[in-house]
Chain A
Amino acid sequence: MRNRAPTTAGARAIRTIFFLAAIGLALALCLSPLAARQQRPARDRAGQVRDRAQLRQPAGSAGQVPQVLRKTDHAPEDAAHDQRLHDAIVKDLPYVPGELLVRFREEASVERRARALRAAGTGADTPGAKWIGDVLYLRDEAIGDPEAAAVALGRQPDVLYAEPNYLRRLHSTPNDPMYSSQKWNFEAINVPQAWDINAGVAGQQSPVTVAVIDTGLTTTTATYSMRIWNGYQFRSYDVPFAKTLDFDHARVLPGRDFVERWEWVFDADSHGTHVAGTIAQQTNNALGYAGIASFVSILPVKVCEGYWDLQLAWGYESYPGIVPRTYEGGCATADVIAGVRWAVDNGAKVLNISLGSESMSNSERDALEYAVQNGAFVSISGGNEGDKGNTVHYPAAFAPQIEGVVAVAAINSNMQRATYSTSGSHIELAAPGGDSAARIWQIVPNISDLSPYLSSPRFDRYQGGGTYGTSMAAPHVAAVAAMLHARGVRSPAAIEAILKLTAKDLGPAGRDNEYGNGLIDARAALRGMGVAK
């Protein structure tokens, strides 16, 4: 019996293998045209280095029954807002229709405030209205065109300002998994030498919290069943999520999703992971990518959404449609200001905001002032309009008015302003942002897993991604600011002053519109000054 058992098992195994192989072959023949259609564009973008780029495929949650991902808050007015927001970003509108941000004069009574709102055809008691700090966020279809409503409200004597819920864009180009030097940006600002100085801070018990106001950072490893419109019907797909192993997740705080209000934060775009990576990625990963201040705690604050955020949200709303594949992400100012205030209220001492657009938002300036008043330094990308008309973007343009908030220009690996980097009087500092020739590299979700050409995405695989933009420059500054904070410089204004003081002057002598006070120098910023030098 014992001797014959292997024979029987062997025969059974061979039969099984043949059977499975036949099925597999048949499936492959049937599905290959479809697979080719879906995969080819992704492969084109990914290039031949994709396999080298592949990093880890976490075991994840294979075998578990996928759950349904929920939203924390989904009242009818929230759902209505989601539809308006998604519609606005798909149509590339400058704001979300039917929404307003209003700040009243402090002395205005409740009655006078209500009267003012009636002028705009709405009221503070509408279901969609809520307070973000001292700003009233109105979400009401009756508002109609928010620009006209904002003008009408702004004329009211009791209204300090009223403005539409503007849409911001991310300040970077899409990721591209191509390899090149991934160290030039750290060397440019003397990060390795700063690490020598900062060695003692790494083990701090209460690390500095850095909030990344962005597209999020995946904080859970799980697989969820999600509905996705495939062009003619909704289908449920198992969408796996995984935390990147290149973060010390003991130092990644839960964060919060202000856009879609999913119950936990994930990054369906890669922008937020990239930015967070520059700040705090661990150095012990296979590709040698690193974060500048890996000792900090990262607070992912999701205020922007990318292609799959939107597509998944539509599925959740049962909205049949496919997001335009050119869509590159958007963020509403109402979410930005709520995110900034929430981050500050939750202990963030450094904030990174790598987004913007040309509309000036008073409520955003108020949120930045709130951050600084509560001891948080803010680094904002200076804008990527340098070769597109050089339009000045907000919130970066507020930076010179607020000590403790800086607008950051991008330099390339030749230590020159990247051509896309917006120049102007708002630029205060420069940091590496890269360009198409030499990018900024971080671990990001697999680009091919996020391709808009896929029928369903996956967020559980990571690779090295090279990107460029002022979005990439700002987190360099945020990370050095966090290092300064860890070494006892708590005042945001002092952090700004020290970064400017120790910056390496580039371009014309002294401050200029291309580089501000110059390229930040992490080592000089941490080293302090002696008597004579």
Chain B
Amino acid sequence: MRHRVPGTLAGLARAVVAPVVVLLLFATTAFAQTATVRKEAPIYLQPNPPATLSPLRVLPAGTVLNVLDEAGGWVQVQFQDPQWGLRTGWVRSDLVTIRRAEPQRPDPAAKPGVPRPGEVAGQTPRSQPAAAAKGKRQPIGVRAMAGFGTTMFSASQTFEAVTGRTSREGPAGGVEVLNLWRHLFASLTISQVRLSGERVFVVNGTIYPMGIPDTITMRPIDVAAGWRLTPGRSLKRLEPFVGAGTTIMSYEETSSFAASLEDVSTRKAGFLVLGGADVTVLRWLRVGGEVRYRMVSGVLGSAGISQVYGEKSLGGVSAGLRVSVGK
């Protein structure tokens, strides 16, 4: 009856998490799970007690306990008794919510279910997502992001003709500011795609390469706002997000034997939508994937091979992996 996060993503996350947690010697490995008391819950010395037996203690809702064992609808927990100190008892599982423990700082006082002296068992820790879900304000967080992805160009025929490819990999980096209002975030991302090919003619669908090197560099600066979706109860490590914004595309195309003004260096604004998900690996480290779609007009379609194919949109779909650091 151990609770498991379903899905390969969770499995992957756990595979990454486990060694990291071991490395962090201070991690509270003993308390892999915590139980949050949902409503006033009596704790007994043993499971399935006779109705006549009085509980050791009745805990208020919201108390966080460390789970030691589970059996037949009962959960063995460790709790801080204000009179007797740390004690062990059983609570009915339908009265608590069991979740995996967050890695914790080595502050014994902050251990879940271990209230500081003078405090009745546990108050909800501030940084729990559950708190946000209840409308409590989250502090503004900042994350730095680095990624690598592939852009599949909208002007695929054009890029295929000149560079022989319809997609190209490139790096990305940026900053995210979270919790501007509830789950609203803003992000600034800079990425780069560089391709080289040769200048061509296209006549009746046949491509004639002319042997003159042509290099294209695209650097979109994306400014986006988005929403981090509330994760499902069973997927608390996963943070899906969606967003939209504007991209400022800087486009350079240079080639040999160019006369003045024949090389292209321009910057045009376009439209951007994005979506993806981060998986929390450590409290300050997330890995994830995202997809961006950019549409920039005004660069292609009025000359060159893009005009031949009538492809006007610079941009396309970029898909990549990202690592973000910070909280």
Contacts and interface: CB of A to CB of B under 8 A. Distances in A.
B203 A493 contact: yes
A161 B206 CA distance: 36
Given A528-B198, A531-B214, A531-B306, 20 more contacts: A487-B211, A493-B203, A494-B204, A494-B208, A497-B201, A497-B203, A497-B204, A498-B208, A523-B259, A527-B212, A527-B255, A528-B201, A528-B209, A529-B162, A529-B200, A529-B201, A530-B305, A531-B300, A532-B304, A533-B253
B315 to A, nearest CB: 13
Interface string A496-533: 01100100000000000000000000010011111111
B158 interface: yes
Contact of B300 (A494, A527, A532): A532
Max chain B C-beta neighbours (<10 A), residue from A487, A501, A532: A532
A467 B163 CA distance: 45
B264 A533 contact: yes
Contacts of A63: none
Interface of B: 155, 158-159, 162-163, 198-204, 206, 208-212, 214, 216, 251, 253, 255, 257, 259, 262-264, 299-300, 303-306, 308
Contact of B201 (A498, A523, A532): A498
Interface centre among A491, A498, A531 (most CB of B within 10 A): A531
B198 A533 contact: no
A491 B200 contact: no
A138 to B, nearest CB: 40
A365 B207 CA distance: 29
Contacts of B304: 529-533
B208 A488 contact: yes
Nearest to A523: B257
A497 B299 CA distance: 25
B210 A527 contact: yes
A501 B307 CA distance: 12
A394 to B, nearest CB: 27
A145 B143 CA distance: 96
B50 to A, nearest CB: 82
A374 interface: no
A107 interface: no
Given A531-B300, A531-B306, A493 B204 contact: yes
A530 B257 contact: no
A416 interface: no
B151 to A, nearest CB: 14
Contacts of B208: 488-489, 494, 498, 528
A527 B257 CA distance: 8
A49 interface: no
A488 B211 CA distance: 9
B203 A527 contact: no
A532 B209 CA distance: 16
A527 B253 CA distance: 14
A107 to B, nearest CB: 32
Contact of B255 (A193, A501, A530): A530
A530 B253 contact: yes
